[in-house]
Chain A
Amino acid sequence: MSAIGAIIGRELRLSLRQGGDLLTLLVLFIGIGVLVPLAVGPDRALLARIAPGIIWIAALLAQLLIHDRLFRADHEDGSLLAFRHAGLPLEAIVGAKLVAHWITGGLPVIIAAPLMGVMLGLEPMTALAAVGVLVIGTPALTALVAISAAITVGLRRGGLVAPVLILPLTLPVLIFGTGALSASAMAAQGQAVLLLGALSLVSVAMAPFAAAAALKISGE
């Protein structure tokens, strides 16, 4: 357990000391929120209706932007090879890295989401609900992004392929995530939240094994 804690601590220290990343992530996330009203026009009713979708797309794009930093640096400097010979199984190490990645890549987006919701004309209560839904849904995004990042880690031209792989897998998250925030029937909202939670649980349970298998193959 302390070893997992040590890895989480290492990842957090690495990403916090590099600085810049967190700011870039937030600027990109909010930037998309600014871009959409300028692109479709400042119609408040329309914006409020499509706001959940915009928040989710911005969250997904933010995850795509930072997918490279999950494994690439460790692959290049050889840390992954060292991890493979550690006392912990690689699956546990990947799980720990996922937790750290969610804290540095998912949590800032979640905290910034109400601000973006209000900018897009959501009711304050819905904007707060967005936080809850994102907390339930972003682990699935992080897990699926991790699988694609592990698959493309050995590719020199991997930058463009990873988003193509991630998109189809994350579509269900987007569908139910948006459904959980849309202003339709309450029953459908509850159902969407439950399905979103199920997606998160399944992908978080699966990701360490799939990503570790891909990393082992790429490291050979």
Chain B
Amino acid sequence: MSATENRSGPPGLWTRIAHPGLFLGWSRHLVVPLALLCIALFAVGLYFAFPGSPADYQMGDTVRMMYVHVPSAWLSQFCYGVMCVSAIGTLVWRHPMADVSQKAAAPLGAAFTALALFTGSMWGRPTWGTFWEWDGRMTSTLILLFIYLGIVALWRAFDDQLKAARVIAVFTLVGAINIPIIKFSVDWWQTLHQPASVFRLDGPTIDTAMLVPLLVMTGAFSVLFLTLHLVGMRTEIGKRRVRSLQTALARAEGGAR
């Protein structure tokens, strides 16, 4: 029924978002504005992060590490959330766009997690006196990185990408148990990493002068993720088209012989 509707009238909102061909059409106009917005946000954020914000009274200038560390750590978890939602889309509706979204998000998540771990250890050395400690939050974030790498490896191991998407969706949902563990690890094991100080019921405990650059940088990182995710999805759809065209070509040639 919906197919006849699509043919007769203009496509509905969901069709426009979810149809791979139409997606390629409208997302083409989004890439450049998103990239420009990302650059602008980074310019403002970096200005606030360096000359525009005070040094910490205890940590000095090393506090500026926070403006990279916190956004990448937040994105490492947000990206897993995107993958979980896409995984549900894959398993419930078997939608190819959900597959593509899952596949494009995995390497990005791995990169942001690695960045969070790296900046964290760079920040930990001058303030805590150690690059690495087997603290609850660090260990659970390291597990998250391994899960991301496992998912990337799994994508590469499958020949049949349709089957891969659904099997990986199952694994992604199993691995989602780790996300609340990361979130609450600072409350359960109070060893080294500080507890939450931005999203709290009684309001943030950071001074406004530091909260503003932190939020701008978080916005910049989020837009960066959106841009890269969009480009990744477009590339993946393009790759699949090339592959199916090649298959069709090979089949036609084989038939001619």
Q: Give A contacts to B, CB under 8 Å.
A: 147-148, 151-152, 154-155, 157-158, 161, 164-165, 167-169, 171-172, 175, 202, 206, 210, 213-214, 217-218, 220
Asked if B157 is an interface residue, CB under 8 A from chain A, the answer is yes
Q: Within the complex, which residue of B139, B154, B163 is in contact with A165, where a contact is CB–CB below 8 Å?
A: B154
- Report if A165-B150 is in contact (Cβ < 8 Å); known contacts: A151-B171, A210-B174, A214-B167: yes
In the complex, chain B residues whose CB is within 8 Å of the CB of A148: 171
- Report if A220-B163 is in contact (Cβ < 8 Å); known contacts: A168-B175, A171-B143, A210-B174: yes
Using A161-B153, A172-B143, A213-B91 as known contacts, list a sample of 9 further A-B pairs with CB atoms less than 8 Å apart, ordered by residue number in A: A147-B171, A161-B150, A167-B146, A168-B146, A168-B147, A168-B175, A171-B139, A171-B146, A175-B139
Q: How far is the CA of A187 from the CA of B132 in the complex (A)?
A: 26
- Interface SS of chain A: helix
Q: Give B contacts to A, CB under 8 Å.
A: 91, 139, 143-144, 146-147, 149-150, 153-154, 157-158, 163, 166-168, 170-171, 173-175, 177-178, 181
Q: How far is the CA of A17 from the CA of B17 in the complex (A)?
A: 56
Q: How far is the CA of A175 from the CA of B188 in the complex (A)?
A: 15
A161 touches B167 (CB 8 A): no
What are the nearest 8 A-B pairs in CB distance?
A: A168-B146, A165-B150, A217-B166, A168-B143, A164-B150, A161-B157, A168-B147, A214-B170
B171 touches A155 (CB 8 A): no
B143 touches A154 (CB 8 A): no
**Whose C-beta in chain B lies nearest to the C-beta of A213?**
B170
- Report if A151-B158 is in contact (Cβ < 8 Å); known contacts: A168-B150, A171-B139: no
Q: Within the complex, which residue of B150, B157, B181 is in contact with A155, where a contact is CB–CB below 8 Å?
A: B157
